[in-house]
Homo-oligomer: A and B are copies of this chain.
Amino acid sequence: MSGNRPRVRELNIIPGLLPPGPLNSITDVAGVRVGHVTLIEGDGPLVPGKGPVRTGVTAILPHDGDILAESVTGVVYTLNGVGEVTGAAEANELGSISGPIMLTNTMNVPRVADAVYDWALAHDSRMGVCHDELEPLVAECSDWYLNDIRGRHVRAEHVLAAIENASGGLPAEGAVGAGTGMSALGFKGGIGTASRILRDGAETFTVGCLALCNFGIREQLRINGVPVGQALLDWRQENRLEAMNPAAMGSSCVIVLATDLPASARQLKRLAVRAGVGLSRTGSLYGHHSGDFVIAFSTAQRHPDYEVAVVPVRRHGENPPGVDQWFQAAAEATEEAILNAIFKAATMVGRDDHISYGLPLEETVAIMRQHGYPGIRLPAPSVTLFPAAMPA
């Protein structure tokens, strides 16, 4: 359903200065794969434990090898900790990430983690017999406004499907996977992705971002600096999420940063901090109740023995693009991924007829044009600047 809404760049809105990768997606980082399972079922009044269902699960696989046997350098950084990323302590202690990175809703976290064990045990008959266990990495936002979250509707089969079907290519965006029931900045939110390319002589490096967006209030929404949320403050205000329930402000945002830069765990933490810059630009205040986390990893090296060799040596003079550009890429990819989540997500009606409106595109274009961006316009229906999204 989000498939026919445009990505932000299709409107000629260009967040930041660095060029995107070919898909403008986290999957521009070679080997990174994304899989969604979207669950939408039922309508009308909430029957706790039964529905309506507006939820899902998303898997990000950090490389295309055996993700149990080979870990990548990685960290989990907390911008505001009122939320959960299981497995964060181990990732940070070892500076590495093993297994899939899973996104879902708050109350599904245990069931998704348990299903990751199902998957891991099926793939590694020695786990728990001859060696230590995986700590599953599962992050969450709460979709309780639209979804029967008490029902914990994501089942093991959904988790396995998200992992097994993960693929390259441009992932579906908007109200898909873990983003199905999410809202952000006063409008329908969900999943978005983007990337940036850094050139270093003949070499190029990529920083990609995938964001699960469920944060903020309408009055703070900024699109490329323009206070669109202020301008839309009265638009269908009777149903504004935060007008109906102020506690809905500041849910959460989970940001996944992938790169092929040869970054150490310390350096990835620095990148993750700059994802916060991108998040700030869109209107987040890292709200009180918001679980705002960044999971950052580098595919530059896979390590079977994860505590020893960390970073490929680069001779002096062979440096990758300056660190400030790394940071800029992380901020810009995050900003654009968040905007893509909001642009791609269509209006959704959920439990108790709660409505989360998709950002009104014509109004947004008009506001942007009033703010000195005359080139912004809706794409013609037939224009497709980017490859078709995967089916969700």
**Interface, chain A (partner B; CB < 8 A):** 17, 46, 48, 78-90, 92-95, 106-107, 109-114, 117, 121, 125, 127-133, 135-136, 142, 144, 149-150, 152, 219, 222, 224-227, 245, 247, 249-250, 264-267, 270, 273-274, 276-277, 280-281, 284-289, 291, 293, 304-305, 307-316, 319-320, 322-324, 327-328, 331, 370-372
Contacts of A94 in B (CB 8 A): 81-82
Task: State whether A285 touches B149 (Cβ < 8 A).
Answer: no
Q: How far in angstroms is the closest Cβ of chain B from A149?
A: 4
In the bound complex, do residue A81 and residue B93 qualify as a contact, i.e. CB atoms below 8 Å apart?
yes
B309, A311: Cβ atoms closer than 8 Å: yes
Q: Name the distance in Å between A119's Cβ and chain B's nearest Cβ.
A: 12
Besides the known contacts A95-B266, A222-B225, A309-B311, 6 further A-B residue pairs in the complex with CB atoms under 8 A apart: A78-B93, A110-B112, A114-B152, A129-B144, A129-B150, A287-B324
Whether the pair A327, B286 counts as a contact (CB closer than 8 A) is yes
Given contacts A277-B280, A277-B284, A323-B307, contact A128 B48 (CB under 8 A): yes
User: Does A110 lie within 8 Å of B117, measured CB to CB?
Assistant: yes
**Distance from A151 Cβ to chain B, minimum over Cβ atoms (Å):** 9
In the complex, 16 of the A-B residue pairs with CB atoms within 8 angstroms, ordered by the A residue number, are A79-B273, A80-B273, A84-B87, A114-B152, A127-B150, A128-B144, A128-B149, A133-B142, A264-B310, A267-B307, A277-B280, A288-B322, A288-B324, A288-B327, A305-B316, A372-B372
| Chain B residues, Cβ within 8 Å of A311 | 264, 309-311, 313
Given contacts A110-B113, A323-B307, contact A90 B81 (CB under 8 A): yes
Residue contact A84 to B80, C-beta cutoff 8 Å? no
In the bound complex, what is the Cα–Cα distance between A90 and B250 (angstroms)?
A: 14
Q: Smallest CB-CB separation from A78: which chain B residue?
A: B89
Give every chain B residue within 8 A of A267 (Cβ-Cβ): 307
Inter-chain contact B293/A89, CB cutoff 8 Å? yes
How far, in whole Å, are A184 and B273 apart by their CA atoms in the complex? 21
Residues of B within 8 A of A250 (CB): 324
A308 contacts across to B, CB distance below 8 A: 314, 316, 319-320
Given A89-B83, A90-B291, A114-B110, are A327 and B285 also a contact pair (CB < 8 Å)?
yes
